[in-house]
Amino acid sequence: MSKVACIGECMVELKQADGGLFSRGYGGDTLNTAVYLARLGVGADYVTALGDDSLSDEMISGWAAEGIGTKLVARLPGKLPGLYMIQTDDKGERRFFHWRDSAAARSLMDLPQTPEILNSLAGYDVIYLSAITLSLYGGEGRARLFAALKGAREAGARFAFDTNFRARGWPDLDVARAVFQEAFAAADIVLASTEDLLPLYPGVTNEALLARIPGAEVVLKLSEPASIVRLEGVPYPIKAKPVEEPVVDTTAAGDSFAAAYVAARLVSADPLEAARAGHRLAGVVVCHPGAIIPRAAMPSGLVPNHANSRKASP
């Protein structure tokens, strides 16, 4: 079984319910991707830090129930996971409030066990992380992570970078742009979107956004249900099939796209086929409330067993 390491942060989620009450769960962008990877039959391990509290125990149990490996989760005495609250409007769209400055996950690159965790990345087929992941760590921590990614790639792993951008995580946009360029240069696969990149590079065209990304395999998701897949400098437009049900919540559309794309590439699907798989899963996810849809709603036959490949699988 192919193995993917997803690096990031999962937080406690308080979601608005009826009568002014809130229900409790958990979520995070790379964790959402790990869940969908596991459901698509990919061996996914989550790489993060949690506390030694009951909420962190609950997260570990929930991830294991989804088939996600937790051997690279550091447990920190006296620490807690981050917290976010969701308010939902009458159209189903969400507004987020975060409490995460002292969350355990932010310490992941500065622990006694950090070298062991980073060295283990060389044993994976794909290492997946997002810009939100990179925003968690300081400059020295990011340098350690990028050095580990370089070593893992030299050992045969592939690095997939998702541009999931949240301005609140980057008080200095010049720092954000520099980190993005470093990630672009290091990545084998870049999963980008105009929604993420235009706040960093306002007023530029899709072609100009793609020109900022030097990689050989780049996906740029557009504001409309479509994307551009660039392979070895050649752009290929991909249109998503129309969504069959009403859109109720766009949360995790990009996270699920990434999971289907990576899962398809791991079985040597052509990148264009992989992008179609990504659009198909995202099109189902946005028709359900919340980031993780019911198992019964997962589309069948999403990832092909084999496909004619334009490039070798990652």
- Active site members: 255
Q: Which is it for strands 234-239 and 226-231: parallel, antiparallel or unpaired? A: antiparallel
Say what angle helices 29-39 and 54-65 make with each other, to 10 degrees: 30
Q: What DSSP string runs through 203-235?
A: T--HHHHHHT---SEEEEE-SSSEEEEEETTEE
Helix (H, G, I), strand (E, B) or coil at 132: helix
Phi-psi region of 15 (alpha: psi -120 to 50; beta: other; left: phi over 0): beta
Per the CB < 8 A criterion, the answer to whether 285 and 256 are in contact is yes
CA distance 276 to 281: 9
- Distance, in Å, from the CA atom of 210 to the CA atom of 232, rounded to the nearest integer, reads 12
- Report the candidate in 70, 1, 57 with the shortest Cα–Cα distance to residue 31: 70
> What's the rounded Cα separation, in Å, for the pair 31 and 28?
5
What is the greatest pairwise CA distance in the chain? 55
**Rounded distance between C-alpha atoms, residue 237 and residue 221, angstroms:** 10
Strand partners, 24: 14
The single-letter DSSP state of residue 39 is: H
Q: Are 127 and 120 in contact (CB under 8 A)?
A: no
Q: How far apart are CA 279 and CA 43, in angstroms?
A: 22
Neighbour-count burial of 159, counting CB atoms closer than 10 A to its CB (0-12 exposed, 13-18 middle, 19+ buried): buried
| C-alpha closest to that of 235 among 253, 216, 250, 251 | 216
